[in-house]
Structure 1
Amino acid sequence: MPKPYMASSLPDHQVAELHRLMSEEIKEVGVFFTDPDGVITVWNRGAEEMKGFTAQDAIGSPISILYTDEQKLQGWPAHNLGEAKKNGFYKEETWRQRKDGSLFWARIALTALRDHSGTLIGFSKVTVDLTDHKRLESCVREREETRRILRTANAGMWTWRPDTGQIEVCANFMGLLGHHDAPAVMTLAQWLGLVSPADRPQVAGKFARAQAAGPGTPLVMETRMRQKDGSCRWFYMHADWSRETDDGPDVLSGVNVDIQALKTAGEGLRQAVDKLEEADARKDEFLAMLAHELRNPLAPIRSAAELLKVARLDTAQVQRTSEIIARQVDHMTGLVDDLLDVSRVNRGLVTLEKKPLDLRHIVTDAVEQVSPLIAARRQRLSLELSVLPAWVEGDPKRLVQVVGNLLNNAAKYTPEGGQLLLKTELRGGHVLLSVTDDGIGMEPSLAARVFDLFAQAERTPDRSSGGLGLGLALVKSLVELHGGAVSCDSAGLGKGSRFTVQLALLARPGRSCEPESDDAALPVEKPLRVMIVDDNVDAAQMMALFLQASGHDVVVEHGARQALERARAESPDVFLLDIGLPDVNGNELARLLRAQPQTAHAVLIAVTGYSQERDRKTAMEAGFQHYLVKPVDPAKLVGLLAGVA
């Protein structure tokens, strides 16, 4: 038999009366009873005051009327009664619902009531309203959260009370400025003393105007605040008017956020934007120049083509016309090669084939290349080469390109009859190669960025020399790939320029660079049976005519399927295949040729406009032995076929 909940020396009827008073008359605590099914049977005044339900509303109603719809969906009433029935007691703190739908924070204690035999006869429930305590707790948490956010954001709060003239400042803000011992309450004059002297009049004026305008007008500005060490930091200030109580005076409460890093980044961003705009302008000028340079050689090529089509020319006239076309094609090829070279170098796709070499030999090859331009402009080139060998480790082809570009640049920007000087010297473990001219020179601002892409457009007074201004950018990239450095200096406009390349000197050179054999010089020992497969009819016919003139037997097809069928019947020695064929691409055609017995051992040469390294690799995997990029140098092709023969 369970023990009584309360022991008393009073008679039973007095104890019963006390229980009634406790349950019915106490207003601060809600007390009610239910039957075993959770139907309310007793409802005290405290419950009525707290929950808004009268005794008439509550008695006879299920306990679920005291729960929100969401709590009902979660099965709370049945769950709570079940826990009390199982354990004898259940308690929790949660939101409860009043009759009008409003919520209050309640601490509840639900007890299962059993008679002397242990039979469940109902439940008692005691509820205490802790809403004010909960709100106070929430305010404390929000205040702590606000402090944490302010610390994280490098910000501080302040409140100005115009009626007293005082400003209350949070310790976090004063700490940001290093004034850890500053008072938490100060006058407006003391507050303005923290502002940078340069910004103080503006800030004082803002406060005066905000006070005159009154509530509804926020105070917003950016200003510099003085730190304890005298330096200043930028802060963003935003303040709004409010009242702490309904009948209290208006106060201006604000937040100052440290934006020094943003200001610094913004200045850097502005400089970056200026540089991007400048680079964009140079890029636009470069594209206009590119269009101009590509149109120039097209005009004589088109005229020559029309002349060959409509006129009856003798052999000498045909020879001169073909020479014009060849020269202009070489010029266009040079332009495209410059573009591709710069792109490949900048993307790290150029691999150097380094070996020990004497830089004096590189100079000789470069001078030979540029001599026609220097002679055409009637300029004088002087050489002052070191007496001792200038050994460096480098790629001979790329170093010739570097020196040739520097000489070409000097010749283009030096008037006719001008002087050029190429000099090499050994100094402090380095080889120095310099190219000096007495040409148009440049301003110091251009000298500082003359190796940048597109920088050339502002420098040239006319476009008579041609070119895209990519040569110096390529020089810088190639020299740096060799571990060297290149510099430029000029005394100013009209005073010439000097470009200097510095490379590491080799102390113990190995095998020197030997001249490579020129396959184009090899004689044609016997004619070859050649099949050209290209869907560009004009290109295929011109290549066929050239190879036929060189003594080879040439056939032409414009589609892969026809070529494959004809190849089985005629078994050519060599195939010149375009990659971008319309029906079956050149790589697949190469695989088919390798697969059939009649052509399995033929020499396959790719002739294509695709110049990327991955394209070359794909072609070689398909069965090609050689890879030529359009436009193909005819002499090089003839030399290649001579080697095959």
Structure 2
Amino acid sequence: MKKNVNPTSELNTAVGVIFHLADGTIQSCNAEVEALLGYTVEQLVGTSAFDPPWQTIHEDGSIFLPETYPAIFSLRTGRVCSDVVMGFYKPSGELVWLSIDTLPLFKADNTQAYGVEVTFRDITQNIEAQITRQNSSQKTSPTQVKRLLTDFLPGIIYVYDVIAEHNTYINDQTYNILGYTVSEISQLGENFVAQVMHPEDLARFPAHLSRLRNSQREEVYNFEYRMRHKNGEWRWFNSQDKVHTRLPDGSIHQILGVAQEIHNRKQIEEHLSQSEERLKLATVAGRLGMWFWDLTTDCLEWTEQCKALFGLNPDTEMSYEVFLNALYPEDRERADAAVQEALETKTEYKIEYRTVWSDGSIHWILAQGRGFYNPESRPVRMIGIAQDITERINNQKALEQREEELRLITEAIPQQIWTALPNGETDYFNQRWQDYTGLTVEQANNRGWEYMIHPDDLADVKEMWHRCLTTGCNYNLKTRLRRADGEFEWFLVRARPLRNQRGEVVRWYGTNTNINQIKELEAKLQQQTEDLIQANQLKDEFLAIVSHELRTPLNPILGWSQLLSAGRLKPERYAQGVGIIQRNAKLQANLIDDLLDVSRILRGKLKLKTKPLNLETIVRSALTTVQLSANSKSIEIVTSFEPNIGQVSGDASRLQQIVWNLVSNAIKFTPEGGQVTVSLKGVGTQALIQVIDTGKGIEPEFLPYVFERFRQAESSRTRKFGGLGLGLAIVRHLTELHGGTVAADSLGENRGATFSVRLPLINTPTVRQFEDEQSNKTIELNPLNGLRVLIVDDDVDSLDLLTLVLEQDGAKVTAVESAKAARSAFNESTPDLIISDIGMPEVDGYTLINQIRALPQGKNIPAIALTAYAGEVDKQRSIDAGYQQHIPKPINLTELISVVTIIMQKNRCT
């Protein structure tokens, strides 16, 4: 019978698998057989192909004799059968058409098949459709018949031209089986085989052609290989090839072949091999004894494991009498009767009996077996297994214990576990769920599971659950579940369906995993991400401000420098220009100081030199430095100091910086003619400094961020007020370093602002003094008179400036531009003082001072480091290298003279 020209449906049809032993007896079969044949597995196992209870027919309606069954054919000949069409009558009388394949199985070094594997598919629809087409078709020509046959046969029929290396003919089944049309194959030409055959099999293809070339007669050669379907899937095929035509010299010209798809067979072979291996391992691991009884010779063979189960030595020669004698006397007759009954009725042999070991111990054995028969229905052998039931009972007890453990695990694991019926109705919740919800299973069922879902999540949960109940798909959803106290927490809810053999859902198993902490962490990470984005935006704005603020002072500095160098200014304008240059240079230095302070703050390198201090002195000193800028805007500074409030422990310069920043800020944001009030008083154990202005004020939405770094109320290019937005951040950090707090308050825009600094007071007597070494020193008119100074700086302008300043105060200066020149000058004349730049080419200032300190005359000479590296680390490195003082650039000339004077005075004292 021909197969349907569209085998697509066959690919989706269930495949039945039956395993016959050498005598034709069915030993095993898969579950699909029941649906295909209408017989249960129990009815089929043990049935012989020589004496089947069913009826079969050929395609023409003639009887399909058992002796010609594909299974019997393969057992007798050792050859495979492919796509044999058989009509099979089910017990109900229904006729189904089957397509049958067989695979004989051999043991090593044995040419006789010990069994055959039969696989079959239901092709009833294809046969009926074919019959319908045949009845309605008109008479066709012989050529058309041949064409129809080749296109309809269940396989790929082809003619391969060895000379041209491509197929000269291929039937339409190629498209049905591989997905390629004949035209597509023709277009590929000689590349078709190379492109679709698996590389490993393509390497064996020349050897197959060589066998065909060397064939002398019409031999048929088999070749198994893999071909790639058009959808990319690899499929197994078996080709039966023979020489079709030869050239006049006798060499092969064309090959005629039929390729049958054996993909299912290959999978079955692999499955069978694995099954045999598993069976072998199972008998060893499961301590199963196997026995084989040849009834024709009365030869009984037992495995060593089987003998061990009966307490027999491995070398014991077995016979049926030895077997019976090994049994408990009262069980021998019953066991023998069970064997005889199984053989006579062709039923399964299954019995439980006792065996007595040589030591007198009694063991229960479960024996199972089945008889096998020849074509005359005479029993020829019996095969079975034996198992110690005592161990099985122990295993059963262990299984029961395991089930109890699993029940306890479901109560102990952190997940909530539940089950539901196919209609979605929940019928079980573990204790973990009941503890979380505060509900019993009965209460939960009465209220319904919807009560447990957060109202905002309920619609999604119901939609997903309905879809899963309808389609049987897995359930995965994150939702919030109600706690016993009414609060909600996030859970990952998962459910999987349990299906029966027909694929129907019989129960749902679900778990609820608490992910509330993960959700909170996700929200936190989201907030951090948003904060980082905002911080990055603030950074960009800040960099733009830094660029603007650093460039702004440079404009008047460069402009007035050019005017001064031209020499065309009037004397009064000359002084004005110098003042503008100095003021903008100081402004730029202050900006840089703020940046350095923030850098120290970020790195945790900002240190305090604390001692008892009088805050009034600190505040007054700070006000002195800002008075000029207040006067320039006609701003009145009003002060209020409560006397004798006590002292604070702090760093004088840093506390003065706090006050200076706050007052400078107030002056900057207060319009001309305004007022700034600075007060100091004691409040309990704290000193309170307040700076109150009548200026621009602070918007309420910006008030929480006023002390953050890089934050300004206005950051656009049209902003009215300059600055980096660092001053208040520095104020807060310095205040906190002193153990205090700072707060800002404002009633809103154009309503002024109040800044309050609170510092802890210390219990020491009040001393109204501010120790400032530089301001309390009386500087002589020419304090450096006669001082020999060696100055080293690779910047000529700086070198000339320092030389001029020191010479004006009486010093004798030797100025050089490199460390090498400095060493030469030092060797010629030992100076009283060395002033050196740090950042110089070739040899820097650190190396220079190390070289000088290594000289006998250079060990105790005072030295001052000048550098643009103004950090705390840079200062400490200068001191460690051998300098007594570190002065950052730009240099305050008055400070320089003061530092030189103090160092030389200390040096003379020592």
Aligned counterpart for 1:162 among listed residues 422, 436, 452: 422
Q: Which structure 2 residues correspond to residues 333-372 of structure 1 after superposition, within 5 A?
A: 333-372=589-628
Q: CA deviation at 1:625?
A: 1.5
Which of 845, 849, 854 is the aligned partner of 1:595?
854
Q: Tell me the distance in 2 between the aligned counterparts of 1:326 and 1:503.
A: 35
1:489 counterpart = 2:745: yes
The equivalent position to 2:865 in structure 1, one of 592, 606, 627, is 606
Change (3 A) 1:55 1:329: closer
Instruction: Return the letter of the residue paired with 1:509.
Output: P
- Match in the other structure for 1:509: 765
What secondary structure does 1:369 align onto?
helix
Q: Compared with structure 1, are the counterparts of its residues 204 and 600 closer, same or farther at alpha carbon in structure 2 (3 Å cutoff)?
A: closer
| DSSP-derived class of the 1:448 partner | helix
Is 1:234 paired with 2:490? Answer: yes
Preserved contact between residue 608 and residue 629 of structure 1 (Cα < 8 Å)? yes
Amino acid at match of 2:839: G
Q: CA–CA distance in 2 between the matches of 1:201 and 1:512?
A: 75
**Distance (Å, rounded) in 1 between the aligned partners of 2:285 and 2:444:** 39
Partners of 2:809 and 2:788 lie apart in 1 by: 12
- Aligned partner of residue 728 in structure 2, secondary structure: helix
> Alignment partner for residue 219 of structure 1, among 475, 484, 488?
475
Q: Deviation per CA, 1:290-330, whole angstroms, max 9, x where unpaired?
A: 11100101122222344455556676665544433322221
What is the distance in 2 between the residues matched to 1:332 and 1:123?
108
Q: Does 1:289 align with 2:545?
A: yes
The 10-residue stretch of structure 1 (401-410 or 535-544) with the greater mean CA deviation from structure 2? 535-544
1:454 and 2:710 equivalent? yes
Q: Distance in 2 between matches of 1:544 and 1:565?
A: 18
Q: Flag the 1:144–1:290 CA change in 2: closer, same or farther, 3 A.
A: farther
* CA shift for structure 1 position 608: 1.5
What is the match of residue 193 of structure 1?
A: 451
Give, in angstroms, the shift of residue 234 of structure 1. Answer: 1.8
Deviation at 1:99, TM superposition (A): 5.6
1:232-258 deviations in Å (ceiling 9; x for gaps): 222122334451445543654433221
Contact 1:414/1:440 (CA < 8 Å) preserved in 2? yes
Alpha-carbon shift at residue 334 of structure 1 (Å): 0.3
- 1:529/1:574 contact within 8 Å kept: yes
AA aligned to 1:360 is: E
- Over 3 Å counting, the alpha-carbon distance change for 1:461 and 1:145 in structure 2 is farther
In structure 1, the residue matched to 2:884 is 625
Greater CA deviation, 527-536 or 476-485? 527-536
2:678 to 403, 422, 430: 422
Mapped to 2, the partners of 1:56 and 1:274 lie a distance apart of 75
In structure 2, the CA distance between the partners of 1:303 and 1:175, relative to structure 1 (3 Å rule), is: same
Partner of 2:800 in structure 1?
541
Shift of 1:593: 0.9
CA shift, 1:168, in A, is 4.0
| 1:449–1:464 distance in 2 versus 1, CA, 3 Å | closer
Q: Does 1:555 align with 2:817?
A: no
Instruction: Give the number of the structure whose alpha-carbon radius of gyration is greater.
Output: 2
Structure 1 residues 618, 440: CA separation in 2 closer, same or farther (over 3 Å shift)?
closer
Contact 2:418 2:430 in 1 (8 A): no
- After superposition, give the CA deviation of every residue in 1:351-407 in whole Å (9 maximum; x if it has no partner): 333333332222221211111111111111212222444533333222222111111
Q: Which moved more, 1:343-352 or 1:616-625?
A: 343-352
Q: Distance in 2 between matches of 1:267 and 1:635?
A: 57
Letter in 2 for 1:255: T
SS of residue matched to 1:330:
helix
| 1-structure distance, mates of 2:738, 2:700 | 27
Provide the rounded CA distance (Å) in 2 between the counterparts of 1:158 and 1:219. 13
Question: Residue 480 of structure 1 aligns with which residue?
Answer: 736
Change (3 A) 1:383 1:56: same
Distance 1:322 1:527, change over 3 A: farther
- Tell me whether 1:635 sits opposite 2:635 in the alignment: no
Matched, 1:106 2:285: yes
- Contact 1:357–1:509 (8 Å) recurs in 2: no
CA distance in 1, matches of 2:109, 2:393: 28
* C-alpha separation in 2, matches of 1:635 and 1:368: 17
**Per-residue deviation at 1:573?**
2.3
SS of the aligned residue for 1:458 comes to coil
Structure 1 length normalisation: TM-score? 0.73
Query: What is the alpha-carbon distance in structure 2 between the residues aligned to residue 520 and residue 101 of structure 1?
Result: 105
Is 2:430 the counterpart of 1:171? yes
Task: Say if 2:833 is the partner of 1:574.
Answer: yes
Q: CA deviation at 1:542?
A: 3.1
Whole-angstrom distance in 1 between the partners of 2:315 and 2:780: 116
Distance 1:383 1:321 in 2: 33
Alpha carbons 1:479, 1:485 under 8 Å: kept: yes
| Equivalent residue pairs, number | 545
Say if 1:438 and 1:177 are closer, same or farther in 2 by CA, change over 3 A.
same
TM-aligned CA deviation for residue 108 of structure 1: 5.6
How far apart are the structure 2 equivalents of 1:150 and 1:329?
A: 76
1:210 aligned residue? 468
Residues 247, 353 of structure 1: CA spacing in aligned structure 2 closer, same or farther, 3 A cutoff? Answer: closer
Contact preservation (8 Å) 2:677, 2:692: yes
* CA–CA separation in structure 1 for the residues paired with 2:395 and 2:577: 98
Query: How big is each residue's C-alpha offset from its partner over 1:454-485, in whole Å with a ceiling of 9 and x where there is no partner?
Result: 22243899655432222211222222222222
Alpha-carbon distance between aligned partners in 2 of 1:285 and 1:248, rounded to the nearest angstrom:
64
- The question of whether the paired residues in 2 share the 8 Å contact of 1:196 and 1:232 is answered with yes
- Range with bigger deviation, 406-415 or 308-317: 308-317
TM-score by length of 2: 0.53
List runs of 5+ in structure 2 lacking aligned partners.
1-26, 28-104, 111-273, 289-302, 306-312, 318-384, 906-910
Distance (whole Å) between structure 2 residues aligned to residue 523 and residue 576 of structure 1 = 21
CA drift at 1:286: 1.8
3-state secondary structure, aligned to 2:712: helix
CA deviation map 1:78-128 (0-9, x unaligned): xxxxxxxxxxxxxxxxxxx9864764361569999xxxxxxx99799x996
Cα distance, 1:510 vs. partner? 5.6
Q: Residues 511, 496 of structure 1: CA spacing in aligned structure 2 closer, same or farther, 3 A cutoff?
A: closer
**Map of 2:781 onto structure 1:** 523
- By relative contact order (CA 8 Å, sep 6+), the higher-ranking structure is 1
8 Å Cα contact 2:645/2:687 also seen in 1: no
Partner residue of 2:634 out of 378, 401, 406: 378
- In the superposition, relative to structure 1, how do residues 622 and 264 fare at CA in structure 2: closer, same or farther (>3 Å)? closer
Once residues 651 and 607 of structure 2 are traced to their aligned partners in structure 1, the CA distance between those partners, rounded to angstroms, is 9
Supply the distance in 1 between the matched residues of 2:394 and 2:567 (Cα, whole angstroms): 107
Distance (Å, rounded) in 1 between the aligned partners of 2:592 and 2:399 = 72
Corresponding residue SS for 1:455: coil
Residues 1:402 and 2:658 aligned together: yes
Q: Name the aligned partner's letter for residue 511 of structure 2.
A: V
Deviations 1:509-552, CA, capped at 9 Å, x for gaps? 26553442326944324133322222333333333333334443
Secondary structure at 2:477's aligned position in 1? strand
Tell me if the contact between 2:682 and 2:688 (Cα under 8 Å) persists in the aligned partners.
Answer: yes
Q: Partners of 2:755 and 2:717 in 1: how far apart?
A: 20
Among 807, 818, 823, the residue aligned to 1:564: 823
Give 3-state SS (helix, strand or coil) of 2:619's partner. Answer: helix
Partner of 2:38: none
Contact 1:178 1:227 in 2 (8 A): yes
- Mean Cα deviation higher: 279-288 or 245-254: 245-254
